[in-house]
A and B are shown apart, each in its own frame.
Chain A
């Protein structure tokens, strides 16, 4: 019974959370967004005390059911392990808890969080690992299928599906996701819940509570015939049939052993006599004042660039070749409105990629900078941060991007535009342009003569930095290629204008 309930809930949960990462239309997060927000680490980072309290209570009552049902990475490993179990029975055996490894990793993890080494936190966070795997390895397949359907829909003049861009946001993050998947598959195939019980910091924290849970897997020593079946089928390797003990710090309450025992010696129950310890204070991984992160110091902005070659028109028709835009080197990287500051982003984000998967404008992508590795950063080559869109802030479960309204967003300055004279087509091509001025949503750009004394002076953009919010419409729509003649420089701390 326990097993059935567990597997049903686990399948629903992993399916829903996977869909959350796959959906690019921005509809599912209204219904499924809470699934990301009830993940333990994101809830702690978001200081979502209600969720944390509920999860703590749940673990104190039921044991580590979180690991069996809520955590998608755990469920994914169960699936792998189950596949192996179909061909090979009785493949596990009891092993001792590897305390030094568990607590060592947890220690490193907490230190990394306190010091704001987001990349290390991101690597170890289980839910984020799952997010990266789905976003990098499954999402493209999903999008290709969608694009197939969109082609069919187009054929029938239907607007039910539309084509979406399938593109690699960051190669290093893709590689990390692929490696994580391979390592997890190997570990889960060979040893079931090895990762969860030796490395996963969330598992370790929950194990501290699970030792004292009200309901536990318990032996009835009178019924047990020491057949060892339970031990040999425990994917957490936590049942010692000889001593009739279960290591509750590692048991994820999957319920497999209860059904496996032919003698009914195992039950999931509360022993009245067991002493109920006071709730231990839960380790507080809140980031406190850590070492201030230093960002990459100024690198000169690449300025030499060829504007789109003006082709001489001789015949009718044809399309001019468009060179792809390239991202400029930004002294301070951009983080989306709602993230408050680079530091808030660096300390809160676990790089789950949910915001990246939501971004409909091709703006968000994982950073390749070592200190903020895989955390979202922005680029405007494919689109700009549109004023009506708050999707990344809507979905972020950790508070790295705080919820924000459209009105707040349109007055939040995340950076400011910088004009690069050498690239501007008004000068290089001698044409009247003003596309940046026309598309600036805050009216921060006006076209002024380069030389006020010269009647024939070209008009070039003048930026009022105090009004600019850094949305990147100017950078995205600038006709200069591959480097725009106007680009956005990030601000470490966002401010309201």
Chain B
């Protein structure tokens, strides 16, 4: 305990924000608002904790998702070269998170072009092993990693990259994508699930669970096995947010409403780990009128905080993962969960209304997770979707040539398109090979959407004055 205090203090000193922090501490001690404090600074203590009934782990409600790590800014890049991940910034943010009580870190061998585990390992190795929980996954993307030997190697590599000799939470990655067939081929036929259970017995895995996207039959089957005692799931990771609560299936028929998924887990007392609470930032980036409604309810609360309160409110939620790329994200989320103010019924109703508004915008449900990448033909799929969604949200989708706004919108869409995506990586280069389709956890028919956007762009280009 003493050690943690010291690390926090030394960290704050390093931040150079000593004065601000001290005043925040003072204010906290007085328990009042007599001193003006920076609204950006979360309190020093008070993180809401949830207890894992299997191991008694006290897990912070805010979990750190290591899928969207910060990249070095201002690097000179050659065409096709990607920036390095900013390890200094990762370390800083991890330190800050730990200092504020965050103790759950979720990574995978596939994230961040395969570098997430290494970056996470470097940052966490600087802290005592018993002050944090690590979650990683047995990923399923490349079929050549499916044989037993390759899978075991993947797990061993994870331990090495993370610089640990055991993993607190291990997940079968993205079950449901590819349906029952892929579940069998990936985890059962090669005996790897049984091997993982052995590892759990040996203490190299403390909790075994799965993350779920897609085919609900797989979800139901796995829970049925749990009921039958064939396999025991210590936790399950699902997508939950106020849009997916009731709209997941309507947005995409291959997905399942979060209300059902959470209900099934809660019924069995299986702790739920929440992913995509913010839909890859889409729920932090809502139409203007929604922003106004939210701010009129609580002028201080960020737009994102509503989504986090929604995801954290159900009692059966163990932790809510957020891929916090920037320090501002981290601070904002810390403020939301230190401590959590559960949503009232009336507030939940309000968010369902917001979900109605957003659902009717017809954005493409891409969360920029980059599972689809790299596209073998060089497209930047998520960047194309992000641009398209941004234009929908900002009202820059030109409709009719007769519209007063048409030419302004057309310019904004086309100039913005070239800015966001180099021409060589735009939708017109999609050949429809379908390589990406099986990787998309949202089940987006990527080639069809690419061709739809391409036709739209082509139409815009042709309608010159």
Which residues of A line the B interface, CB within 8 A? Answer: 154, 159, 162-163, 308, 310-322, 383, 386-389, 425, 429, 431-435, 438-439, 477, 479
Contact B377 A319 (CB under 8 A): no
Give Cα A319 to B433, complex, Å: 16
Give Cα A477 to B431, complex, Å: 9
Contact A388 B461 (CB under 8 A): yes
B199 at the interface (CB under 8 A from A): no
Chain B residues within an 8 Å CB radius of A310: 376
Chain A residues within an 8 Å CB radius of B430: 435
Give Cα A196 to B112, complex, Å: 65
Query: A159-B411, A316-B110, A479-B431 known; A386 and B374 CB under 8 Å?
Result: no
Contact B464 A388 (CB under 8 A): yes
Give Cα A383 to B424, complex, Å: 10
Chain A residues within an 8 Å CB radius of B82: 317-319
> Of residues 118 to 162 in B, which have CB atoms within 8 Å of A's CB atoms?
141-142, 144-145
Contact A317 B425 (CB under 8 A): no
Chain B residues within an 8 Å CB radius of A320: 80, 374-378
Contact B142 A316 (CB under 8 A): no
Contact B431 A321 (CB under 8 A): no
Query: A432-B433, A434-B431, A479-B429 known; A317 and B464 CB under 8 Å?
Result: no
Give Cα A432 to B435, complex, Å: 11
Chain A residues within an 8 Å CB radius of B434: 432
21 A-B pairs whose Cβ atoms sit less than 8 Å apart in the complex: A154-B419, A159-B411, A311-B376, A312-B142, A312-B144, A315-B113, A315-B114, A315-B141, A316-B371, A317-B112, A317-B113, A317-B374, A318-B373, A319-B373, A319-B380, A321-B79, A322-B79, A383-B423, A425-B431, A435-B429, A479-B429
Chain A residues within an 8 Å CB radius of B7: none
Residue B462 contacts which of A154, A387, A433, A477 (CB distance < 8 angstroms)?
A: A387
> Of residues 265 to 323 in B, which have CB atoms within 8 Å of A's CB atoms?
none
Give Cα A159 to B112, complex, Å: 31
Extra inter-chain contacts (17) besides given A308-B377, A434-B431, A438-B454, CB under 8 Å? A162-B415, A163-B419, A315-B109, A316-B67, A316-B110, A316-B371, A316-B373, A319-B80, A320-B376, A320-B377, A321-B378, A322-B378, A429-B433, A432-B432, A433-B432, A435-B430, A477-B429
Contact A314 B431 (CB under 8 A): no
Query: A316-B112, A320-B377 known; A435 and B80 CB under 8 Å?
Result: no
Query: A313-B142, A316-B369, A432-B433 known; A321 and B376 CB under 8 Å?
Result: no
Give Cα A82 to B425, complex, Å: 50
Interface of A is mostly: loop
Contact A477 B428 (CB under 8 A): yes
> Which B residue's beta carbon lies closest to that of A321?
B80
Contact B462 A388 (CB under 8 A): yes
Give Cα A387 to B463, complex, Å: 10
Chain B residues within an 8 Å CB radius of A313: 141-142, 374, 376, 435, 439
B195 at the interface (CB under 8 A from A): no
Which residues of B line the A interface, CB within 8 A? Answer: 67, 79-80, 82, 109-114, 141-142, 144-145, 369-371, 373-378, 380, 411-412, 415-416, 418-419, 423-425, 428-435, 439, 451, 454, 458, 461-464
Q: Which of B415, B418, B439, B454 has most chain A Cβ within 10 Å? A: B415
Chain B residues within an 8 Å CB radius of A162: 415, 418-419
Chain B residues within an 8 Å CB radius of A318: 82, 113, 370, 373-374
Contact A434 B432 (CB under 8 A): yes
Query: A315-B113, A316-B113, A318-B374 known; A431 and B424 CB under 8 Å?
Result: no
Q: Which of B114, B378, B439, B462 has most chain A Cβ within 10 Å? A: B378
Distance between A457 CB and nearest chain B CB, rounded to angstroms: 17
Give Cα A315 to B110, complex, Å: 4
Give Cα A158 to B142, complex, Å: 42
Query: A313-B435, A318-B82 known; A439 and B428 CB under 8 Å?
Result: yes
Chain A residues within an 8 Å CB radius of B429: 435, 477, 479
> Which A residue's beta carbon lies closest to that of B78?
A321
Q: Which of B377, B424, B454, B462 has most chain A Cβ within 10 Å? A: B377
Chain B residues within an 8 Å CB radius of A479: 377, 429, 431
* Shortest beta-carbon contacts, A-B, top 6: A315-B114, A317-B370, A322-B378, A431-B433, A433-B431, A321-B80
Q: Which of A311, A318, A439 has most chain B Cβ within 10 Å? A: A318
Contact B374 A311 (CB under 8 A): yes
Chain A residues within an 8 Å CB radius of B110: 314-316
Contact B141 A314 (CB under 8 A): yes
Distance between A227 CB and nearest chain B CB, rounded to angstroms: 61
> Which B residue's beta carbon lies closest to that of A315?
B114
Chain B residues within an 8 Å CB radius of A435: 428-432
Give Cα A388 to B111, complex, Å: 43
> Which B residue's beta carbon lies closest to that of A431?
B433
Distance between A339 CB and nearest chain B CB, rounded to angstroms: 21
Residue B111 contacts which of A315, A383, A387 (CB distance < 8 angstroms)?
A: A315
Chain A residues within an 8 Å CB radius of B144: 312
Contact A433 B433 (CB under 8 A): yes
Distance between B427 CB and nearest chain A CB, rounded to angstroms: 11
Distance between A347 CB and nearest chain B CB, rounded to angstroms: 31
Chain A residues within an 8 Å CB radius of B112: 315-317
Chain A residues within an 8 Å CB radius of B411: 159
Query: A163-B418, A163-B419 known; A316 and B433 CB under 8 Å?
Result: no
Distance between B280 CB and nearest chain A CB, rounded to angstroms: 13
Give Cα A69 to B429, complex, Å: 49
Give Cα A267 to B114, complex, Å: 84
Distance between A310 CB and nearest chain B CB, rounded to angstroms: 5
Chain B residues within an 8 Å CB radius of A314: 110, 114, 141-142, 145
Chain B residues within an 8 Å CB radius of A321: 79-80, 378
Distance between A65 CB and nearest chain B CB, rounded to angstroms: 37
Chain B residues within an 8 Å CB radius of A315: 109-114, 141
Chain B residues within an 8 Å CB radius of A322: 79-80, 378, 424-425
Residue B412 contacts which of A159, A163, A425, A429 (CB distance < 8 angstroms)?
A: A159
Chain B residues within an 8 Å CB radius of A159: 411-412, 415-416
Chain B residues within an 8 Å CB radius of A163: 418-419
Contact A386 B461 (CB under 8 A): yes
Give Cα A163 to B417, complex, Å: 11
Give Cα A383 to B371, complex, Å: 29
Distance between A475 CB and nearest chain B CB, rounded to angstroms: 13
Give Cα A366 to B326, complex, Å: 49
Give Cα A475 to B378, complex, Å: 17
Chain B residues within an 8 Å CB radius of A387: 462
> Which B residue's beta carbon lies closest to that of A165?
B423
Chain B residues within an 8 Å CB radius of A319: 80, 82, 373-375, 378, 380, 425
Chain A residues within an 8 Å CB radius of B433: 429, 431-433
Chain A residues within an 8 Å CB radius of B80: 319-322
Give Cα A447 to B439, complex, Å: 27
> Which B residue's beta carbon lies closest to that of A386?
B461
Distance between B411 CB and nearest chain A CB, rounded to angstroms: 5
Give Cα A431 to B430, complex, Å: 12
